[in-house]
Amino acid sequence: VSGRKAAIQADVEAHMRRLERSVGSMVDDRALVSLQTLDPADACEALRKVEELVQSQGGQCRNLSSILQSVCRKLEKKSTKPLRAEDEARYMASWGATAGDGPHGRGSLRARREDEEGDAFAESSGSDGGLAQVVSGVASASKGAPARATALQSPTGSNLDTPAGKKSWADIGDNEDDGDEDPWTPSHLEQLADKGLELRALGDKKSVFRISMANLSPPMTDAGLERYCSWLRARLTAFREEHGPESLRSCQGEVDFSQNNMTNQMVWILLETLAQNEVHVAFLKLNANNISQGGALAVCEFINMNEVAEAVQEIHLSHNEIDDESALELLRTLHSMRPRYPPLRAPE
């Protein structure tokens, strides 16, 4: 048995290195902690699933740590028994660690890699927060019918907050200095962004929030959306500072980015920005884009992580490239959040 475990652990480490080399980024400590809560066989399975997801995105992935955390969490939830103290000790021992040890103070996968590669892993380029744990799955609203969703609330002080002066994975582009030829220049973007945003307070902690950015010409680009989300983040932060953090949690908001050639990475960035600011998105319209399983992951995670805001009521994902497995995962996500879902509709 010990020989089999050693072989599995070697397979896990090989998978980890292969993934990191293939995407050019390193798994952070949070993701390693998530991986080490699984027994070695499940950890190996988690890495195989992540590898498949990365391949489904054409080998491009700026959120490796986030996806790994989420897949680990899904596998852990499938366990029929809660993790007991003795189980944790056994699992950690199987990794050569002690239960309760911090991410650097154990005989961990990271520690072994540091022994082999010096300080190459001293700083991780993985997720710093933001939709830091990305669940696998998404809803496919068939033939234009909206998928009904669940409550989203994000605990105060959760890892959705991006520390000041630090960039999260969603803020860092693959080529940050290649935006000179992008049609979405700052001036062009700000003009359309202002026109497409309705954000105003109504009093009594009520507000109106609506984004209308559908069918843009030219379509939004990755670099353009990153600029847009930086702009939007500043607007939302200022609004919450003026009107209080509760001002956006029940605003019956509508976000429409349909017919925009939105990619998976763009969905991650947009939903992270909204989750960071605890925005109640009652109507999320992402139909007629280029969203596949990778982008679908962010939708499920947005539902899971934005826990302070009220429930999503409609998710429009028709005319994308979302497969049956992703649609089923969204249904599982909603089912796991009962009785919040299905949500009660606000009176017209």
Whether 112 has a pLDDT exceeding 90, the answer reads no
Q: Give which of 287, 340, 346, 271 is closest to 311, Cα–Cα.
A: 340
For residues 173 and 9, what is the distance between their CA atoms, to the nearest angstrom? 33
Q: Compute how many other C-beta atoms are within 10 angstroms of the C-beta atom of residue 179.
A: 17
Residue 100 and residue 52 share a domain: yes
Do 266 and 313 sit in the same domain of this protein?
yes
75 plus 113 within the same structural domain: yes
Look at 76 and 139; give whichever has higher pLDDT: 76
Domain count for the chain:
2
pLDDT at 2 > cutoff 80: no
Would you place residue 48 in the very low, low, confident or very high pLDDT band (cuts 50, 70, 90)?
confident
pLDDT, tens digit (0-9, with 9 covering 90-100), for 265-275? 899 999 999 99
Confidence bin at 76 (pLDDT 50/70/90)? confident
Per-chain mean pLDDT for the chain? 72
E strands present in 181-271: 197-203, 206-212, 253-256
Answer for the pair 74, 297: CB distance below 8 angstroms, yes or no: no
> Is residue 341, in this structure, part of any structural domain at all?
no
User: Is there a domain that residue 247 lies in?
Assistant: yes
Residues 188-195: contacts with CB under 8 Å, at least 24 apart: 189/224, 189/227, 189/228, 189/231, 190/231, 192/216, 193/228, 193/231, 193/232
Task: Check whether residue 111 and residue 148 sit in a common domain.
Answer: no
In this structure, the answer to whether residues 169 and 285 fall within a common structural domain is yes
| Domain membership flag for residue 129 | no
Report the run of H or E that residue 25 belongs to, with start and end.
Answer: none
Q: Each residue of 230-258: pLDDT tens digit?
A: 999 999 999 999 998 889 998 999 999 99
Q: Write down the pLDDT at residue 194.
A: 92
Residue scoring higher pLDDT (104 or 31): 31
Residue 7 belongs to a domain: yes
Tokens of 134: 């990305």
What is the CATH classification number for the domain harbouring 150?
Answer: 3.80.10
Using alpha carbons, select from 310, 193, 302, 304 the residue that is nearest to residue 247. 310
- Find the range with the poorest average confidence among 49-53, 138-142, 193-197: 138-142
Give residue 287's pLDDT: 95
Residue 87 has pLDDT above 50, yes or no: no
Q: Is residue 229 one of the residues assigned to a domain?
A: yes
- Containing domain of residue 180, as a range? 142-336
Residues 180 and 67 in one domain: no
> Both 171 and 267 in a single domain?
yes
Residue 308: pLDDT over 70 = yes
Are 201 and 299 contained in the same domain?
yes
Q: Answer yes or no: are the C-beta atoms of 126 and 26 closer than 8 Å.
A: yes
Q: Are residues 41 and 150 in the same domain?
A: no
Is 127 part of a structural domain of the chain?
no
C-alpha 294/C-alpha 55 separation (Å) is: 10
